[in-house]
């Protein structure tokens, strides 16, 4: 995998002191936020725990890691020059190329001078007297900032479930979300992969090609649609780049902010033959647009069953052993857990060196010195891959000791589950913004337009505060409560809350079950625009304790 060289000299100034804004995280969100801060003329520091920019794409280097949104969509649109110049090589970009892209962005927009790598933010404490945040880092620095923007990512805090005996294991173990940079050679190794979400599904076919034997420990079978990945079609690229702005604008009008080629028809009002043809076409096309086959797939169980049965039939056709095919066939709602996009996943189970081990009715009992035990049987392994996902959406935020007004921690404020206004701000935490936070469309969209929309909204909000002499902004409790109710109401009208997904926090023992993403990109954007147009309706805007801060804010 191509390694990106980072010139750490460019980021070597000693942090500390006072700035207008601190940004946490150097993924897509943090980099663009920093660029907008520069545009506002504000001083900003960006802290990043990793040794390079990239966020998710820095950490997730497992074999086969690639985006499940097509390259021409999974990229920034804020700069027409950037989107015209950058050339993606594949229909779905591999992790290494996305990482190169983000490094290019960091250079092209002169961001590195304000980025502090290898620096984890440990605490952010709000001081009501000064109306400022103090940010404390793992390098022992303390920075005072007017604004604190959490660009910590939705899927950044890895989840390794507690397995008895893990420390006894004599072989090697890896988490897909924190993969060694030098790569891993599984040649002649007996490998166990635990987990069959996107990370498992992408890595399993490649690990199977190397390992002497691969055991896949499956708790819940997953729906996955073939990617049909390949070199990016230059004609498609030319056509989109000829009118990129229009392409982007159209996609923003889609439910998930991504081109799913929506069919407005109902699956239930379509003949079985037409339905079959529609599903077949989408299977052949590949990827997430499978979910756009019919308008009621995510709203009606009966409609969804038709898509589910179509995929099960495909599995039966691909997998030679009927018993294994039935074990791989999911029984849940298609799309309820994130739909996966694969290259050769189901076919991998036709290989003689691959064994599927069902752990749904009988969990992994323990990890032993030489492998792991299920149903009393020990599977001898040289390596274990945890493809067990993330403490999604809230994990990275709650790892930081964030304390707002009255010293109240975010952990306390969110004890019953995250509560935000628009997913971007929380009562009691003035001037703290969460990019693609819980309560915003985030993971149920193409992340990049969602990130850009949040960053631009936050930048506009800060400019408004500067222009009008406001020192602090925070939501009202009434607006936040109403928003949380609305997020739940919208989700409740869909099939999403019907399975144990990470959208609900159900993958982490003890995590409150709250449906976190907001469903519907266009209405969400409309709501955010309305809020801003009405002078930030639903927010309290507070003037400074003295004139000084207003001067500071408006100096850009």
Residues of this chain that interact with ligand NA7 (CB under 6 A) are 155, 161, 176, 194-200, 217, 219-220, 338, 359, 364, 387-390, 502, 507
Q: Which is nearer to ligand NA7, 445 or 453 (CB)?
A: 445
Cα gap 140→108, rounded to integer Å: 30
How does strand 132-137 pair with strand 121-127? antiparallel
Q: Tell me the residue nearest to ligand NA7 as measured from the CB.
A: 197
Does residue 291 sit in helix, strand or coil?
helix
Instruction: Give 175 or 282: the residue with its C-beta nearer to ligand NA7.
Output: 175
d(C-alpha 348, C-alpha 66), whole Å? 18
Torsion, Cα of 44, 50, 54, 57 (10° steps) = -150
Least separation in angstroms between CB 2 and ligand NA7? 21
Q: How far is the CB of 510 from ligand NA7 (least distance, A)?
A: 14
- Min. distance of Cβ 56 from ligand NA7 in angstroms? 8
DSSP string, 429-483: -TTEEETT-BTBSGGGS-HHHHHHHHHHHHHHHHHHHHHHTEEEEEE-HHHHHHH
Q: Decide whether 198 or 450 has the Cβ nearer to ligand NA7.
A: 198
For ligand NA7, the closer of residues 47 and 345 by Cβ is 345
Nearest approach in angstroms of CB 148 to ligand NA7 is 26
d(C-alpha 364, C-alpha 376), whole Å: 9
Cβ proximity to ligand NA7: between 176 and 270 the closer is 176
Shortest spacing between CB 33 and ligand NA7, in angstroms: 21
CA distance readout (Å), 338 to 104, 172, 355, 444, 503: 30, 29, 24, 9, 9
- Give the helix/strand (H/E) hosting 366: strand 366-367
What's the closest the beta carbon of residue 190 comes to ligand NA7, in angstroms? 18
Q: Which two tokens stand for residue 69?
A: 């949104």
CB of 198 to ligand NA7, least distance (A): 4
Contact (CB, 8 A) for 424 and 2: no
Closer residue to ligand NA7 in complex, CB, 199/426: 199
Smallest gap from Cβ 201 to ligand NA7, in A, equals 7
CB of 76 to ligand NA7, least distance (A): 19
Pick between residue 155 and residue 519 the one whose CB is nearest to ligand NA7: 155
Judging by beta carbons within 10 Å of its beta carbon (0-12, 13-18, 19+), is residue 246 exposed, middle or buried? exposed
DSSP string covering 158-219, please?
B-----TTGGG--SEEEEGGG--TT----TT-EEEEE--SHHHHHHHHHHHHHSSEEEEEES
Closest separation between CB of residue 226 and ligand NA7, Å? 17
Alpha helices by DSSP H, 43-94: 56-59, 80-85
The C-alpha atoms of residue 219 and residue 504 are separated, in whole angstroms, by 18
46: its two tokens? 């960006």
Our CB check for ligand NA7 shows the closer of 109 and 502 to be 502
- Residue 119 or 507 having the CB closest to ligand NA7: 507
The rounded distance, in Å, linking the Cα atoms of 192 and 174 is 10
Minimum separation from the CB atom of position 27 to ligand NA7 (A): 13
With respect to ligand NA7, which residue has the nearer C-beta, 11 or 388?
388
Residue 84 tokens, joined: 């015209």
In angstroms, the Cα distances linking 409 to 49, 106, 293, 404, 508 are 22, 32, 44, 6, 21
The CB-of-476 to ligand NA7 minimum distance in angstroms stands at 32
Toward ligand NA7, which CB reaches closer, 406 or 509? Answer: 509
**Torsion over CA: 404, 392, 449, 10 (sign):** positive
The residues pairing with 137 across neighbouring beta strands, listed in sequence order, are 121
Nearer to ligand NA7, 169 or 536 (CB): 169
Q: How far is the CB of 341 from ligand NA7 (least distance, A)?
A: 9
Between residues 166 and 359, which has the closer beta carbon with respect to ligand NA7?
Answer: 359
Asked if 89 and 68 count as a contact pair (C-beta separation under 8 A), the reply is no
């Amino acid at each position: 995998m191509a390694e990106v060289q980072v010139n750490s000299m460019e980021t070597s100034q000693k942090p500390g002191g006072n700035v207008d804004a601190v940004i946490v995280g150097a993924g897509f969100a943090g980099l663009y936020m920093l660029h907008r801060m520069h545009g506002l003329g504000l001083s900003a520091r960006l802290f990043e725990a990793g040794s390079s920019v990239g966020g998710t794409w820095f950490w997730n280097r497992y074999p086969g890691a690639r985006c499940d949104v097509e390259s021409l969509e999974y990229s920034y649109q804020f700069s027409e020059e950037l989107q015209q110049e950058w050339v993606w090589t594949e229909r779905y970009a591999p992790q290494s190329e996305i990482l190169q892209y983000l490094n290019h962005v960091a250079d092209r927009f002169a961001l590195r001078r304000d980025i502090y790598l290898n620096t984890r933010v440990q605490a952010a404490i709000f001081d009501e007297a000064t109306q400022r945040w103090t940010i404390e880092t793992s390098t022992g620095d303390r920075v005072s900032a007017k604004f604190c923007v959490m660009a910590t990512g939705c899927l950044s805090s890895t989840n390794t479930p507690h397995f008895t005996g893990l420390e006894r294991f004599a072989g090697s173990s890896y988490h897909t979300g924190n993969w060694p940079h030098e790569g891993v050679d599984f040649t002649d190794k007996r490998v166990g992969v635990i987990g069959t979400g996107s990370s498992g599904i992408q890595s399993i076919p490649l690990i199977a090609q190397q390992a002497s034997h691969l055991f896949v420990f499956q708790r819940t079978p997953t729906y996955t649609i073939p990617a049909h990945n390949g070199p990016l079609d230059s004609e498609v690229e030319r056509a989109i780049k000829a009118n990129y702005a229009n392409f982007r604008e159209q996609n923003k009008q889609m439910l998930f902010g991504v081109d799913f080629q929506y069919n407005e028809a109902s699956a239930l009002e379509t003949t079985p033959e037409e339905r079959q043809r529609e599903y077949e076409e989408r299977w052949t096309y590949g990827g997430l647009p499978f979910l756009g086959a019919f308008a009621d797939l995510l709203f009606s169980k009966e409609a969804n069953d038709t898509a589910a049965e179509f995929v099960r039939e495909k599995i039966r056709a691909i997998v030679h052993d009927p018993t294994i095919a039935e074990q791989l066939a999911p029984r849940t709602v298609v799309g309820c857990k994130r739909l996966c996009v694969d290259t050769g996943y189901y076919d991998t189970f036709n290989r003689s060196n691959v064994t599927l081990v069902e752990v749904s009715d009988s969990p992994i009992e323990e990890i032993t010195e030489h492998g792991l035990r299920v149903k009393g049987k020990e599977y001898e392994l040289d390596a274990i891959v945890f493809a067990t996902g993330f403490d999604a959406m809230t994990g990275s935020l709650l790892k930081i000791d964030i304390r707002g007004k009255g010293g109240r921690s975010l952990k306390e404020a969110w004890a019953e589950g995250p509560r935000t206004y628009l997913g971007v701000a929380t009562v009691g935490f003035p001037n703290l913004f969460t990019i693609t936070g819980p309560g915003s469309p985030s993971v149920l969209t193409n992340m990049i337009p969602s990130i850009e929309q949040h960053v631009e909204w936050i930048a506009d909000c800060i400019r408004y505060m500067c222009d009008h002499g406001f020192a602090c902004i925070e939501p009202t409790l009434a607006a936040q409560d109403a928003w949380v109710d609305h997020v739940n109401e919208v989700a409740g009208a869909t099939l999403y809350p019907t399975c144990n997904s990470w959208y609900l926090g159900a993958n982490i023992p003890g995590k409150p079950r709250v449906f976190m993403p907001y469903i519907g990109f266009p209405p969400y954007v409309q709501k955010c625009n309305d809020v801003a147009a009405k002078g930030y309706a639903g927010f309290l805007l507070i003037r400074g304790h003295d004139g000084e801060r207003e001067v500071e804010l408006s100096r850009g």
